[in-house]
Chains A and B, each alone.
Chain A
Amino acid sequence: MSAAPDAAALRRRTEEFLAAHPPARTGRTAFLRARFDAGLAWVHFPEGLGGLGAPRTLQTEVDGVLGAAGAPDNDPRRIGIGLGMAAPTILAYGTEEQKQRFLRPLWTGEEVWCQLFSEPGAGSDLAALATRAVRDEDTGDWIVDGQKVWTSSAHLARWAILVARTDPALPKHQGITYFLCDMTDPGVEVRSLRQITGEAEFNEVFLTGVRIPDRHRLGAVGQGWEVARTTLMNERVSIGGMRLPREGGMIAPLAAVWRDRPALRTHALHQRLLELWVEAEVARLTGERLRQQLAAGRPGPEGSGMKLTFARLNQEISGLEVELLGEEGLLYDDWTMRRPELVDFTGRDAGYRYLRSKGNSIEGGTSEILLNIVAERVLGLPAEPRDDKDLPWKDLAR
């Protein structure tokens, strides 16, 4: 093992890589595969798995050089679940064989991932999940039956991270096992689920006799809850984490309408605009401060709060934008049922932003649940008394 490179070494390495693989004369997939093999995909990953064991913050050095050279990227917004959730979990709990098999096509985007966690009866209380996985004693395979819901990108996904119950007699957190599920298995049925925006990003997924080989189990039998927590923690980090310029994000279209259309302005709207503008700027600075803490090796607890703040601000800002537009705010750009590949807040009208941002306080853990987490983990306030932790799962109310 060589020592982890510093910023200058990484830039040099990236330039050498570009010289050997000129983007103009290399196909996109070939380029991305080669980049992975050169350890320049996610530099904080280990060598041999797309990284160099370097600090995570140095990724910007690589991305900067590649971006300037006009190199293709892996379109991270399309494969957010794989990059943000599946990959760190596979890295933490996967066998050597699993890491080698899954991480490369995940990163290049050749294989899209989705998250089969939530169920009709288990959302905030994910550990109550009822999808069963039963071992076939002859083959060692697992036979999975159950229903998942709200599954974003299931219709695009080649693979899924899946949690299922392997022992209903144990208390709910203990009888869960984590699997990597092949979405092309004949027992997997994906049905689109239309949402309030008119389109369908998410799906219902019915699992009927789905056969998962034991080598696609992630972590030990019964360890699924612990493994799932790694996924969920990474989900929240990736939701709150992007860097914005001043007046970036949801406030940008609102400020633009305000400036371009003086006839729409009123004193009451002006006061709310200024309040939200300040809050958006403060949220941006909070995110910047968080990144500086991470870069200095002293991560602060602020991360748990960013998603809460952005969810509320996105909703309030887009709500004000609809109101500001007056008569036009009564209109909607397009109700056609579509299956978008990514969430596009900027390419659509205010009404879409208003409706889609309602999901920001639900997806990836509701704001109520996140407030509980901040109160207990950051402030050290006591948990509410509860009686569900030690009962066998099969005896719980549902």
Chain B
Amino acid sequence: MTATPDLLYTAAEDDLRAAVRALLDTKAADHGATLARAEAGSPHDPALWHTLATGIGAAGLLVPEHLGGHGAGPREAAVVLEELGRSAAPLPYLTGPVTAATALLGCDTAQPAVAGLLRPLAAGSTLCVLAVPLTLGPGAPHPSAVTTVDGRLTGTVSAVADGAAADVLLVPADTGLYAVRTRDAAITPQTPLDLTRPLARITLDRTPGDLLAGPATARAALDRALTTGAGLLASEQLGLAEWCLAETVRHVRGRHQFNRPVGSFQALKHRLAQLWLEIAGARAAARNAADALATCAPDTALAVAVAQASCSTAAVHAAEECVQLHGGIGMTWEHPAHLYLKRAKADALAFGTPGHHRTRIAALADLPGPRA
């Protein structure tokens, strides 16, 4: 039996949340501007990213101080992600300072090639992302899209989140993990369902790269990165779901039909109460995953799979209820509900679907399926 996880928020975590929320409330609340940037092909807001990553120091939360970071951990990063989910802000936090940083930390950080990437990533001055499809979940087979010949990399990877905005790609290949400058690769932006998380196809054709880790280390580093990404994505989904519920409650309280607020109809009250229950569960599951990652608990893989299986579903449910209970306005381009719906649906595929995670649980919790 493992130690009881701490499922609450510490005072320091509350302070961090307040700082991030204050920033996003002023700088990411204009969903119209976000949409305009997204339609122009680059949804990231560089000034906002700089303030979050460098000013508040969010980019360095997972990186130890001797490698240029702040030596905090997954619990703090989870709080940042809750706020990013709440605002649906298009910032490359999950991909860079969370997932890519964890992959680098899984390599030999005494190597100059590794430390030389971690420091600017933690400072918020360089963006590294993993060159894997956003759908790749922990426990999936190691990617085989990229092969090496004479130390040069060849292959194509699609649906790489934040690939076009990155400075450096961390590429898992047959002979290990490589760092590739984006300017050396062919990057084609793809049209994403989720307007707030840009995707790109990356084509490598005898492209040079720096070896960061050999195959065995690369495999472990990638799995740890995907486990961390999946576990902390749950917090983003939690924040997103909370926004959807709060916004929907606000709307149905104010919107009158049949001479009364539509929120006084029991059919809607029960749906929203059910959603609240689901989100209360999602919060416990997301906190449990973040705490397991922070304490390197022996059941971390299970905690992450449980969090993903429940938070993905809760976020999609919340966003779908948000659109439906707003009526026609929820169907418009102008109202932000669609940004949350698209993010929620894409997030449910990101780092493995709920079904992928349940299949993991079958193995991790000894609940095997029927014999083939």
Given A374-B276, A380-B253, is A368 in contact with B270 using a C-beta cutoff of 8 Å? yes
CA distance A115 to B29 in the complex (A): 53
Given A282-B281, A309-B281, is A267 in contact with B273 using a C-beta cutoff of 8 Å? no
B249 near A379 with CB under 8 A, answer: yes
Q: Does A293 contact B (CB under 8 A)?
A: yes
In the complex, chain A residues 366-394 whose Cβ is within 8 Å of any chain B Cβ: 368, 371-372, 374-376, 378-385
Given A274-B358, A368-B270, A381-B264, is A292 in contact with B281 using a C-beta cutoff of 8 Å? no
A245 near B266 with CB under 8 A, answer: no
B281 near A381 with CB under 8 A, answer: no
Task: List chain A residues, Cβ under 8 A from B1.
Answer: 245
In the complex, chain A residues 274-325 whose Cβ is within 8 Å of any chain B Cβ: 274-275, 277-279, 281-283, 285-286, 288-289, 292-293, 296, 302, 305, 308-309
If A282-B306, A381-B268 are given as contacts, then 18 extra A-B residue pairs at C-beta distance below 8 Å, sorted by A number, are A265-B368, A267-B369, A270-B367, A274-B361, A278-B309, A278-B310, A281-B306, A285-B281, A285-B288, A285-B306, A288-B284, A371-B270, A372-B266, A375-B272, A375-B273, A379-B269, A382-B261, A382-B263
B252 near A381 with CB under 8 A, answer: yes
Q: Distance (Å) between the CB of B351 and the closest chain A CB?
A: 16
- Of B4-12, B51-59, B62-70, B79-87, the one contacting chain A is B4-12
Q: Does B370 contact A (CB under 8 A)?
A: yes
B267-280 Cβ-contact flags toward A at 8 Å (1 or 0): 01110111011001
Task: List chain A residues, Cβ under 8 A from B260.
Answer: 382, 385
CA distance A156 to B165 in the complex (A): 72
Given A282-B310, A371-B270, A385-B264, is A274 in contact with B362 using a C-beta cutoff of 8 Å? yes
Residue among B252, B260, B277, B365 facing the most chain A CB atoms (10 A cut-off): B277
- In the complex, the chain A residue whose C-beta lies closest to that of B360 is A274
A-B residue pairs in contact (CB < 8 Å), sample of 26? A265-B370, A267-B369, A270-B370, A273-B367, A274-B361, A277-B365, A278-B309, A278-B361, A281-B285, A282-B310, A285-B281, A285-B284, A286-B281, A286-B283, A289-B284, A292-B8, A305-B277, A379-B273, A380-B249, A381-B253, A381-B263, A381-B269, A382-B261, A382-B264, A384-B265, A385-B260
Task: List chain A residues, Cβ under 8 A from B280.
Answer: 286, 302, 305
Indicate which residue in A262, A275, A289, A371 contacts B7 across the interface (CB closer than 8 Å): A289
Q: Is the interface on chain A under 10, 10 to 19, 20 to 34, or 35 or more residues? A: 35 or more
Given A265-B370, A270-B362, is A374 in contact with B281 using a C-beta cutoff of 8 Å? no
Residue among A247, A289, A380 facing the most chain B CB atoms (10 A cut-off): A289
In the complex, chain B residues 8-43 whose Cβ is within 8 Å of any chain A Cβ: 8
In the complex, chain A residues 321-377 whose Cβ is within 8 Å of any chain B Cβ: 368, 371-372, 374-376
Given A277-B361, A282-B310, A379-B276, is A384 in contact with B370 using a C-beta cutoff of 8 Å? no
Task: List chain A residues, Cβ under 8 A from B150.
Answer: none
Main secondary structure of the interface of A (DSSP, over half): helix
CA distance A381 to B285 in the complex (A): 26
- In the complex, the chain A residue whose C-beta lies closest to that of B365 is A277
Q: Does A2 contact B (CB under 8 A)?
A: no
Task: List chain B residues, Cβ under 8 A from A139.
Answer: none
Indicate which residue in A277, A283, A372, A375 contacts B367 across the interface (CB closer than 8 Å): A277
- In the complex, the chain B residue whose C-beta lies closest to that of A309 is B277
Residue among B245, B269, B285, B371 facing the most chain A CB atoms (10 A cut-off): B269
CA distance A259 to B369 in the complex (A): 10
Task: List chain B residues, Cβ under 8 A from A262.
Answer: 368, 370-371
Task: List chain A residues, Cβ under 8 A from B367.
Answer: 255, 258-259, 270, 273-274, 277
CA distance A383 to B266 in the complex (A): 9
Q: Distance (Å) between the CB of A300 and the closest chain B CB?
A: 8
Task: List chain B residues, Cβ under 8 A from A278.
Answer: 306, 309-310, 358, 361
Q: Distance (Å) between the CB of B23 and the closest chain A CB?
A: 26
Q: Distance (Å) between the CB of B212 and the closest chain A CB?
A: 35
A375 near B269 with CB under 8 A, answer: yes
- In the complex, the chain B residue whose C-beta lies closest to that of A370 is B273
Residue among A278, A292, A305, A382 facing the most chain B CB atoms (10 A cut-off): A278
B272 near A379 with CB under 8 A, answer: yes
CA distance A381 to B260 in the complex (A): 12
Task: List chain B residues, Cβ under 8 A from A378.
Answer: 273, 276
Q: Distance (Å) between the CB of A259 and the closest chain B CB?
A: 7
- In the complex, the chain A residue whose C-beta lies closest to that of B245 is A379
Task: List chain A residues, Cβ under 8 A from B6.
Answer: 292
Top 8 A-B residue pairs of the complex, sorted by shortest distance between their CB atoms:
A375-B269, A285-B284, A374-B273, A265-B370, A382-B264, A289-B7, A274-B358, A282-B281
Task: List chain B residues, Cβ under 8 A from A271.
Answer: 358
